[in-house]
């Protein structure tokens, strides 16, 4: 549940970099996603630039999570968020404040400041952050009721770079919805995130730039379901020693007289 909204799908999908709107539509349907992210920058700032894309997204009947992708300062992110709320008519905002141009790592100091401003202005903030516990605490104090730590740098397809950090975050915030956002490359990465107890995953590049985006979207949907089911089934913890699956007590012993 995100800000009081129940969703049946635990896969959130980005809408950038697809070969065509037709492929995007088919991929969304295959993923069974109910939430898609949209960048205000794709809409354009003048005239009717991007209007057809927004109308296309509206026609799919999905919940939109606008983002502040590409913003490198608090002022830019806050301004973009206000414009997005007016355009997309939603208090939801995926907040990105980028601190490094190469890794696209969040500027966590600016992120907390922007989150505090936006929460005070009535936004329901989904912050793209790192797995740092202290930063997460500050974001929750600022008013965020969802946290979105990265798995790896955006578009890197490296999976979960810091499993220990992600597990610690889950343990530290048992009642806060957590979404792994960025860096997932294959469905097994998504399954692994869900097995850690995360509530959802958000991805874009892994599907949009796959050889067959539609089939990859379907694969991720299955992986998310499998990972969640595995988490709920309480999997075995790793062991240092072998343990036979066949009981030895009461086993018949054959031998000569």
Q: What average pLDDT does the chain have?
A: 92
Distance CA 200, CA 149 (A): 11
pLDDT by residue (tens digit) across 112-163?
Answer: 999 999 999 999 999 999 999 999 999 999 999 999 999 999 999 999 999 9
Residue with tokens 């007289």: 257
List the binding residues for 1-deoxy-D-xylulose 5-phosphate. 155, 182-183, 204-205
Nearest to 168 by CA among 218, 126, 134, 138: 134
SS3 227: helix
pLDDT in tens, 182-192: 999 999 999 99
> Residues 148, 150, 151, 157: is their CA dihedral positive or negative?
positive
Q: In which band, very low, low, confident or very high, does the pLDDT at 9 lie, cut at 50, 70 and 90?
A: very high
pLDDT in tens, 29-64: 999 999 999 987 655 544 455 667 888 888 888 999
* From 29, 75, 94, 251, the catalytic residue: 94
Cα–Cα distance for residue pair 73/247, rounded to 1 Å? 62
Residue 140 makes CB contacts below 8 A (sequence gap 6+) with 147, 173, 176
Q: Pick from 223, 217, 211, 205: which is nearest to 17 by CA?
A: 205
Options 2.60.120.650, 3.30.70.2860, 3.40.50.300, 3.20.20.70; which CATH number does 11-233 get?
3.20.20.70
Asked if 29 is an active-site residue, the reply is: no
Q: Which residues are annotated binding-site positions?
A: 155, 182-183, 204-205
| Cα angle 118-184-236, degrees, rounded to a multiple of 5 | 105
CB atoms within 10 A of CB 7: 15
Domain ranges of the chain: 11-233
What CA–CA distance (Å, rounded) separates 206 from 126?
A: 21
Residue 45's pLDDT is what?
Answer: 46
User: How many H-runs (helices) and E-runs (strands) does the chain carry?
Assistant: 10, 8
């Amino acid at each position: 549940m995100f800000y009081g909204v129940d969703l049946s799908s635990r896969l959130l999908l980005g809408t950038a970099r697809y070969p065509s709107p037709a492929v995007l539509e088919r991929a969304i349907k295959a993923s069974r996603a109910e939430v898609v992210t949209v960048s205000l920058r794709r809409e354009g700032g003048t005239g009717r630039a991007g209007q057809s894309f927004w109308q296309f997204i509206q026609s799919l009947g999905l919940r939109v999570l606008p983002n502040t992708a590409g913003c490198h300062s608090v002022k830019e992110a806050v301004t973009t968020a206000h414009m997005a709320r007016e355009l997309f008519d939603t208090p939801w905002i995926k907040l990105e404040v980028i601190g490094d141009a190469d890794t696209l790592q969040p500027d966590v100091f600016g992120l907390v400041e922007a989150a505090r401003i936006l929460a005070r202005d009535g936004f329901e903030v989904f912050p793209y952050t790192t797995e740092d516990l202290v930063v997460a605490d500050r974001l929750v104090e600022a008013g965020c009721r969802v946290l979105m730590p990265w798995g790896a740098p955006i578009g890197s397809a490296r999976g979960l770079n810091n499993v220990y950090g992600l597990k610690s975050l889950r343990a530290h915030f048992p009642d806060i919805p957590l979404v792994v956002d960025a860096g997932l490359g294959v469905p097994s990465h998504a399954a692994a995130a869900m097995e850690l107890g995360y509530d959802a995953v958000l991805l874009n590049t892994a599907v949009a730039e796959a050889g067959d985006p539609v089939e990859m979207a379907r694969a991720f949907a299955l992986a998310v379901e499998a990972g969640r089911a595995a988490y709920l089934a309480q999997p075995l913890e790793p062991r240092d020693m072998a343990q036979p699956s066949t009981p030895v007590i009461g086993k018949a012993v054959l031998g000569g007289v």
